[in-house]
Structure 1
Amino acid sequence: MKKFCLSLFLLSATISTYAQAGNENVFMSSDKIFTLGGKRAKSGEYKIDGNPYTSSKNFEQVIIDGYSKNVQDLRYNAYADEMEYLDKKETYYADKTDGLTIVFPSLKKTYIVKHYTYMGNEKFGYLVLLSKKDAKYGLFRRERVELMQGEKSVSAFSKDANDYYAKEKDVYLVSKGNTYYKLPKNVDELSEDFSLDAKSVKEFTKSNKINFNKEEDLVKLFDFINK
């Protein structure tokens, strides 16, 4: 599959022009700018089993904050941590800009681009937004797919197994201001780490039978915490 880099921004101007920036072809219109970079190398005969998408291989209609309704259908590549769109049978990547919010109505999912720290490393990529965008304590889900090496054949009469995509376990992150933390294991740790009213949080957790292993319960809990 041929791949290109794509930059997708909002342009407030009402005219359309063409420009050249370095070695990149840039098309500008009244609602978007596309920057097409060089082709990525083909994989040749190299075959990978499975796919790198966590929700759907299909390109889905989206709503993007700050953009017109006339935007390309997208899909999330969790291995590359990129949003892809299709144009004339070619696949492009949407440019990442901090705070960019992409809603997939059919999937009932919202992705947001964030700078964050995970396992001591600085990251810049897509997270699934589970709380309100401007919430004091943000709740996010990190989705990733990894590429696993296929097993070598033990016999000369059989083929080696192909490499394959495997979904990683989702990681839940909590933000306070510009700092991100891995979700605490229980309500006691959560209350202590974020200096919450432990008594009211515990009462809510108990009365609503909140299970930290259920996403819908976590969303309910953070809606309460952020009131």
Structure 2
Amino acid sequence: MKKILFTFLAVASFAGAYAQAGVQLRNDGFSATTNQMFTELRKKKATEVPLGTVGSPYIDESFAPCEVYYNDELVGTFYYRHNAVNDEIEIKDNPMPDAEVSSLATMRQLRIIVKKSGQEISMQTFETKEDQLRNGYLYAITGEGDYQLYQRNKVKFTEGTEAVSSYVRSQPNRFSIFTDYYYSDKDGKVVNFVPSRKGAFISSFDKSIQSSLKEYMKEEGLNVKKEEDLVKIFAFLNQQGV
């Protein structure tokens, strides 16, 4: 399975050319010069899926309309899908089956807004439950506020096994989808993992708000394993103004 990544040199070249060109961005999107730079950073994709594999490397195999932004400036309207094995956003200019597919440059300045739902997908630096720092695409769940809730959708590939005897069945290659939740606060630059245990979740916040958070979750009977309950918790945190 091939994984096509953009190098630091390509990103630096884009930033340097962008600065040297002195391009003025318009409200309706990139200028022609900058749009050309963006186009040059889109690389052709070739995702190979082994025959007989169960599942998909994509969260949704169909391409959905989206808007791509560079910081707050609109680049244009495209169609996207998320390759969650490689953690890449694949895009194309139109929904036709034969349209060329490329990969969105892995730059923090680039983000997409899904047109149907309005949800934002952006590259973030986050700390996993194994305390490892990673860069990857996170789906914003909550809106404005000091505390933001994100969803991380990832797909794991497991290689199949051949039957070694008539008593043991062979297993096909498989793609499995997993979902984790993360949050950012007003002080940190790194997005934090949301623990699945209530005590660990409360302890991950500043001590000044732990008591009120614990009381609120107890009164409302909220479960950190449920997305709808997490939305309520982060709405509460933003209302506190702490």
Same fold (TM > 0.5): yes
Shift of 1:117: 2.5
Contact 2:66 2:77 in 1 (8 A): yes
Flag the 1:195–1:15 CA change in 2: closer, same or farther, 3 A.
closer
Is 1:64 the counterpart of 2:68? The answer is yes
SS of residue in 2 equivalent to 1:34: helix
Distance 1:214 1:44 in 2: 32
CA RMSD of aligned residues (A): 3.8
What amino acid maps onto 2:238 in structure 1? Answer: N
Aligned to 2:86: 80
Stretches of structure 1 that go unaligned for 5 or more consecutive residues are: 18-27
Aligned residue pairs, count: 211
Q: Tell me, what secondary structure is at the counterpart of 1:68? A: strand
Which of the numbers 146, 157, 160 marks the counterpart of 1:150?
A: 160
> Equivalents in 2 of 1:39, 1:192: separation in Å?
41
Q: Structure 1 residues 114, 120: closer, same or farther in 2, change over 3 A?
A: same
Point out the structure with the larger helix share. 2
Partner of 2:110: 100
Paired letter, 1:124: N
Equivalent pairs: percent with the same residue? 24
TM-score (norm 2): 0.68
Larger relative strand fraction: 1
Counterpart residue number, 2:194:
183
Query: Is the partner of 1:71 in helix, strand or coil?
Result: strand
Residue 35 (structure 1) aligned to one of 19, 40, 44: 40
**1:42-61 correspondence to structure 2 within 5 Å:** 43=48, 46=51, 48-54=53-59, 56-61=60-65
Task: Give the unaligned 5+ runs of structure 2.
Answer: none
Note the C-alpha offset of 1:219.
1.1
Q: Is the 8 A contact 2:44 2:101 kept in 1?
A: no
Alignment of 1:115-134 (within 5 A): 115-118=125-128, 119-132=130-143
- Check the 8 A contact 2:3/2:86 in 1, yes or no: no
Matched, 1:111 2:145: no
Mean alpha-carbon deviation: is it higher for 101-110 or for 83-92?
A: 101-110
- 1:44: how far off? 9.2
Tell me the secondary structure at the aligned position of residue 235 of structure 2: helix
CA distance in 2, matches of 1:114, 1:46: 33
| Structure 1 residue 214: Cα displacement | 0.9
